[in-house]
Structure 1
Amino acid sequence: MVIINSKFLVQNITGVQRFAFNVAIKLAKLKNDNLLFFMPNKKFNYFYENLFKENIPIIKGYTRGIIWEQIELPFFAKRKKAIILNLGNSGPIFYNKNVTIIHDLLWLKYPEAYSKLFTKWYSFMIPRLIKNSLKVITVSQTSKRDIVDHFKIAEDKIAVIYPGVDRSVFKPLNLERENFILWVGSLKFYKNVHGLIEAFKILKQNYKIPYKLTIAGYGVGELRGKIDEKIRDDVDFVDKVKDEILLKLYNRALVFVFPSFYEGFGLPPLEAMACGCPVVVSDTGGLPEVCGDAGIYCNPQDPYDIARAIYEVISSKELRGSLIKKGLERANLFSWEKTAREILNIVKELL
């Protein structure tokens, strides 16, 4: 028996929750009788409605939060003599039959992006969770190196399984490309939206480009009043980022830019490539593993280099055409079904 730690069903959407949801959907469609979803006693996020349409057994517990994950979940699993599959960076630290996915160590690299309580809890929880996991899975070779180096664990205890992209959702729509640069993400410091805004200012001042910048993500509207008035009229904000809205943005943008200081993987560039949108990304973290030769790279620490990379793409129709072709081919290498099957194969070997 395998119990899916379904805490993600009650959480807000970030890349980790999107990963968990897409893997869960594919696991559910495999119709494996040994899989059971167990969630906290809390209202689920509307984003996950499709999972409930799969007619799979989803059991709701009696508690929520840390009490649910650290006490009720392992007690439930012990009664079932089950392995717990933790899809999103956390799990019961005193249960010794975990398979745990750790996406990255951002809470260590950029603690200022998180609350002190969150950082302290993860500093306590993660090493113990790793110790009590039969297998650790991560999303890139970059993240694997970080985990091995920091926690001093054997390399063969960690498997790398890349996330996927849903090409039934993210696909070319043959819409006319418009003159705007797109960024999608959260306002966490390491996402470096401030560096992109500075690069956009350089593009307007030094290159005199007639383009706009669109910033999309939950809560991004709070940046509106912080934008330099010289470029404020050329910066648009999209607070609602449901998949159908993202699909149109990826299909209309002239270029997608993702200049993060660090990413364990980075789903937005993959989604953009799947939609036929050229991408400019940082040359750090797991992003080169995502984009391969299908992206233009920049130094995220240097707004002038970000501006240089963007201008290289927007000024050349030939380059954009080449990036679109390579990006679509690159995106075809990633699928959620492949991700789910590889995870399930690891779990089956441990049963």
Structure 2
Amino acid sequence: MKIAIDIRKIEDFGIGSHIWNLLKSLSQIDEENEYFLIGYSRRPLPNLGKNFNFLKTTAGKYSLSEHIKIPVLLNKIKCDIFHSPHYVIPFFHKGLTTATIHDVIHLLFPSYLPLKILRYYAYFQIMRTLKVSKIAYTVSFSSKKDIIRFFPWAEKKIEVIYNGVDERFFERAKAEICEKYKKELGNYILYVGNIKPHKNIGILLKGIRKLKGVKLVIAGSSPDNNILERIEREGLEGKVVFMGFLPFEELSALYESSQVFVFPSFYEGFGLPPLEAMAKGVPVVSSSAPSMPEILKNGAVYFDPDSEDSLIEAIVSVMENKDLRERITMEGRNVAQSYKWSDSATKILNCWRIINESCPRS
């Protein structure tokens, strides 16, 4: 088979990790099929096999040009299957297609998109992707339930395939980097991810004011002006540290050196960062928002994402109760080990084979 994959979002935080690890695992399990990766990346890519090819394009994400330029590339290589790792499929592509719809946050929380036209665009693209895809993957049963809520006719097309955990997170970080963070940051609670509204960063800023002797460290994002003004207004300078985007070795050490990992989201389709923290042996405190109990199981202490008191109680219980801390650390690592990218990639590849065999090219 000739399989084309849109990798233009590989530099994004969540979907980028999904694409990076999917490519790595496909390369490890499949030397038979030929892959064409559409896009480019300033992010270092995993070592890929000789059967992986790159097709650069100037088509921007969510642009008009992607609906013309990408189909032209697909026609040139005469691909058997085109896979989109998010909910946009080019209008003028007519071949066999699969897609991953990670969540429907734009439909569940329309206020997060400031313009009505963007909300309509998201709805239309998800609907169209479900119609033209032979299979639409999603990353949790919670997400599948949400998709069906808006598009009940698509239920039989939706296949749940969990993400995996990057196996590198199970390895010890470099000792010298860990020591650097312990010296520079002291005791800290860690959050990794972006700062979009549904990530609920505000509750962490509220909570850190009442927690003594510990900082809040945020990695993966830089603060916007609203957050900077709030930190200054509430006197949190020195209590909140933004690390921005970090290369893997730095991120691994930052996880490993933290006291607690906190994930306060109102909504997640899957949620990779808490699993990465679990793999590093860090106790996890997570909101009880949809999908989190499904994914994290008994490896975390949960709190109400609308309640500051619930958050503080969960963090304090993990920091002060040694037995609880040891139990969720052990169970969390076991949970993380159950999510393997090799399993995810194998399931996706098997679906592609079935689709290709059942829909032969004329």
- TM-score normalised according to structure 1 size: 0.89
Report which stretch shifted further, 23-32 or 309-318.
23-32
Superposed CA offset, 1:39-69 (max 9, x none): 14xxx33214335x54443232554134553
Question: Is the CA contact 2:207–2:311 (under 8 Å) kept in the aligned structure 1?
Answer: yes
1:48-59 residue pairs with structure 2 within 5 A? 48-51=44-47, 54-59=49-54
Percent of aligned pairs with the same amino acid? 32
**Cα 1:321–1:172, aligned 2, differ >3 Å: closer, same or farther?**
farther
Superposed CA offset, 1:227-280 (max 9, x none): 144433222221132222211111011100001000000000010000000001
**Cα 1:110–1:91, aligned 2, differ >3 Å: closer, same or farther?**
same
Question: Is the CA contact 1:137–1:158 (under 8 Å) kept in the aligned structure 2?
Answer: yes
Aligned to 2:337, which of 329, 332, 336? 332
Show the counterpart of 1:131.
131
Show the counterpart of 1:92.
90
Show the counterpart of 2:112.
113
**Cα 1:23–1:186, aligned 2, differ >3 Å: closer, same or farther?**
same
Q: Distance in 1 between matches of 2:160 and 2:294?
A: 12
Q: Distance in 1 between matches of 2:108 and 2:86?
A: 18
- TM-score normalised according to structure 2 size: 0.86
Superposed CA offset, 1:20-51 (max 9, x none): 121012112333433322414xxx33214335
Show the counterpart of 1:27.
26
Question: Is the CA contact 2:190–2:217 (under 8 Å) kept in the aligned structure 1?
Answer: yes
Q: Distance in 2 between matches of 1:45 and 1:226?
A: 34
Q: Distance in 1 between matches of 2:43 and 2:110?
A: 28
Q: Which runs of 5+ in 1 are unaligned?
A: none
Number of residues of Structure 1 aligned to a counterpart in Structure 2: 341
Show the counterpart of 2:43.
47
**Cα 1:158–1:2, aligned 2, differ >3 Å: closer, same or farther?**
farther
Report which stretch shifted further, 321-330 or 231-240.
231-240
Indicate yes or no: 2:67 matched with 1:70: yes
Report which stretch shifted further, 170-179 or 81-90.
170-179
Question: Is the CA contact 1:21–1:48 (under 8 Å) kept in the aligned structure 2?
Answer: no
Q: Distance in 2 between matches of 1:216 and 1:83?
A: 36
3-state DSSP class of the match of 1:210?
Answer: coil
Indicate yes or no: 2:172 matched with 1:148: no
State the AA in 1 paired with 2:222: G
Question: Is the CA contact 1:259–1:300 (under 8 Å) kept in the aligned structure 2?
Answer: yes
Q: How large is the RMSD of aligned CA atoms in angstroms? A: 2.3
Deviation at 1:16, TM superposition (A): 1.1
Indicate yes or no: 2:190 matched with 1:182: yes
Deviation at 1:212, TM superposition (A): 1.3
Aligned to 1:194, which of 202, 207, 223? 202
Show the counterpart of 1:231.
236
